[in-house]
Homo-oligomer: A and B are copies of this chain.
């Protein structure tokens, strides 16, 4: 509801009630705004109702929930089952973009805000619970072992010669496998028996660092929370050695967030020595279902690097058949538009999902960007405009014409895709909106006079009311 709604309520209610209702609403908005502004763990827990309202509000910002949206991409957060849609609060776009967890997803503004907010809150939680110096963290959709592997893989990119990880032995399979899965050789340091307790053999760890070429060591991995009689590792001393010998240090703080002691030793370790990253499980510390971690550290740029490492039946058969049909429809429509603007549909018989339409050569690449964003602003999601001019460097590799799959593709183009779940209305609206956009855009780029359509209509409604549509509707469930 907005200002207009409240005015309309006067039809139903005395004005004092309307005013009080507005005040109450402002109170709730204030709660939301505080969270958005501060990004802090609230002193008072929120009611489930307010949590749900905020999630609904954020979901409303995602394009799959726009009333007017028509998607023509391969990934449009269509959700087949209302059961699934509800349990995800209609948030369908996941996190991040092309292997960068923290990048904003244009189709999913709400999901993107939610993820950043989650990371801000997670950071505040770690600071509040005993590690005030933590600089950055992110919630990873990965179990603990897989998160450790991700960190190790990231360390390898920084130190390509590294082959070993020094590991203060802890008998948990996934810890050990995180090393071998990442392709490293573990150097196992058995703990020392001290009375009943097993404590870190810091002497041995130092000895190894001393004697080996540090370039060969990816890191030392220590563990805080563990089963007795093994003690929490002496991460402080290890951190000091890591600083001296310039070796990275990764701490598995699996379920240590709940223990002030585990948190304290990490804070101390960071103050006196070196800690590159520490990992904690979400389920074991925050009482949510199994499946995630917080990856945190004291150097923002290293934590960012880790997050960028993340590489990112009957009815069904009917839908699949329908998709084929829509592909045809989309192709015909694009051909009509192409011919009208002196362009052409790219001839790509080997691709049965995505279709390209050539674009005229432009002097200023910004013109191409404009085309894409004009479509986006008209609630068309999923098209790609490929300029053919971009050069991109990824992990040291230079790609010419990135996005074109080829260094010298002869023309710029725009693609759209016919994917499962798309409807005839999506195709129709896309074609109409594309025509509209092309009409104004082409005046800037195409130097020819276009004949106006004699019969005054755009041609696509006709397309859809022909027998295509009849086929289509009769087969939709």
For A313, give the chain B residue with the smallest CB separation.
B41
22 chain-A/chain-B pairs, Cβ below 8 angstroms: A1-B57, A5-B33, A5-B36, A12-B112, A17-B61, A20-B63, A20-B376, A21-B109, A21-B110, A24-B63, A80-B286, A80-B287, A93-B290, A99-B178, A146-B311, A149-B153, A171-B403, A181-B311, A198-B406, A228-B355, A232-B352, A255-B419
In the complex, the chain B residue whose C-beta lies closest to that of A148 is B311
Question: Within 8 Å of chain B (Cβ to Cβ): is A214?
Answer: no
Question: Is A384 close to B, CB under 8 A?
Answer: yes
Judged by a CB distance under 8 angstroms, whether A399 is at the interface is yes
> Is A346 positioned at the interface, with any CB of B under 8 Å from its CB?
yes
Tell me the bound Cα distance from A87 to B157 in angstroms.
38
Question: Which of A407-415, A435-443, A455-463 contacts the other chain?
Answer: A407-415
- A87-B87, A198-B406 given; name 14 further pairs at CB < 8 Å: A16-B377, A20-B63, A25-B60, A44-B314, A74-B227, A87-B88, A170-B405, A171-B402, A174-B311, A177-B312, A188-B397, A226-B351, A226-B354, A230-B405
A403: chain B residues within 8 A (beta carbon) = 171
Q: Which of A48-56, A205-213, A296-304, A359-367 contacts B (4 or more CB under 8 A)?
A: A48-56
Kindly provide the distance from the CB of A401 to the nearest chain B CB, expressed in whole angstroms: 8
Q: Tell whether, in the assembled complex, residue B18 and residue A109 are in contact, meaning their CB atoms are under 8 Å apart.
A: yes
Please tell me if A31 contacts chain B, counting CB pairs below 8 Å. yes
Interface presence of A333 (CB below 8 A): no
Give the total of A residues in contact with B, Cβ under 8 Å. Answer: 192
4 pairs of A and B residues whose beta carbons are closest in the complex: A231-B350, A145-B311, A94-B290, A174-B312
A residues 146-177 touching B (CB-CB < 8 Å): 146, 148-150, 153-154, 156-157, 169-177
List chain B residues, Cβ under 8 A from A256: 353
* Alpha-carbon gap, A94 to B142, bound state (A): 11
Which of the listed residues A16, A44, A180, A346 has the most CB atoms from chain B within 10 Å of its own CB? A180
| A40-85 contacts to B (CB < 8 Å) | 41-45, 48-49, 51-53, 56-57, 60-61, 63, 65-69, 74-75, 77-85
**Chain B nearest Cβ from A257, distance in angstroms:** 8
Query: With the chains together, A41 CA to B313 CA distance in Å?
Result: 7
The answer to whether B141 touches A291, judged by C-beta atoms less than 8 angstroms apart, is yes
Q: Which of B28, B75, B228 contacts A283 (CB 8 A)?
A: B75
Q: Is the CB of A77 within 8 A of B14?
A: no
The answer to whether A53 and B51 touch across the interface, beta carbons within 8 angstroms, is no
Report if A464 contacts B (CB, 8 A): no
What 0/1 pattern do residues 222 to 241 of A give for CB contact below 8 A with B?
00011111111000000000
Indicate if the CB atoms of B290 and A77 lie closer than 8 Å.
yes
Chain B: minimal CB distance from A24 (Å): 4
Stretch at the interface among A242-250, A258-266, A269-277, A446-454: A258-266
Residue A123 lies at the interface, judged by CB distance under 8 Å to chain B: no
Q: In the complex, which of the residues B85, B178, B181, B259 contacts A352, with contact meaning CB atoms closer than 8 Å? A: B259
**Would B51 and A347 count as touching, CB distance under 8 A?**
no
State the Cβ distance, A385 to closest chain B Cβ, in Å: 11
CB of A113 within 8 Å of the partner chain: yes
**A8-B36, A109-B18, A177-B309 known; A24 and B255 CB under 8 Å?**
no
Any B CB within 8 A of the CB of A220: no
Check if A24 sits within 8 Å of B65, measured CB to CB. Answer: yes
CA distance A186 to B346 in the complex (A): 29
- Is A75 within 8 A of B323, CB to CB? no
- In the complex, A338 has a CB within 8 A of chain B: no
Chain B residues near A309 (CB, 8 Å)?
177, 181
Residues on the B chain within 8 Å of A198, using CB:
348, 405-406, 409
Give the CA-CA distance A26 to B403 in the complex, in Å: 34
Collect the chain B residues with CB atoms within 8 Å of residue A20's CB.
Answer: 63, 109, 376-377, 379
Contact A79 B287 (CB under 8 A): yes
Q: For A406, list chain B residues within 8 Å (CB).
A: 169, 190-191, 193, 198, 230
- Taking CB atoms, residues of chain B closer than 8 Å to A226 are 351, 354, 405
In this assembly, does A389 line the interface, its C-beta being within 8 Å of a C-beta of chain B?
no
Specify which chain B residues have a CB less than 8 angstroms from the CB of A319 in the assembled complex.
258
Q: How far is the CA of A351 from the CA of B144 in the complex (A)?
A: 20
Known: A231-B348, A351-B231, A354-B226. A83 touches B52 (CB 8 A): yes
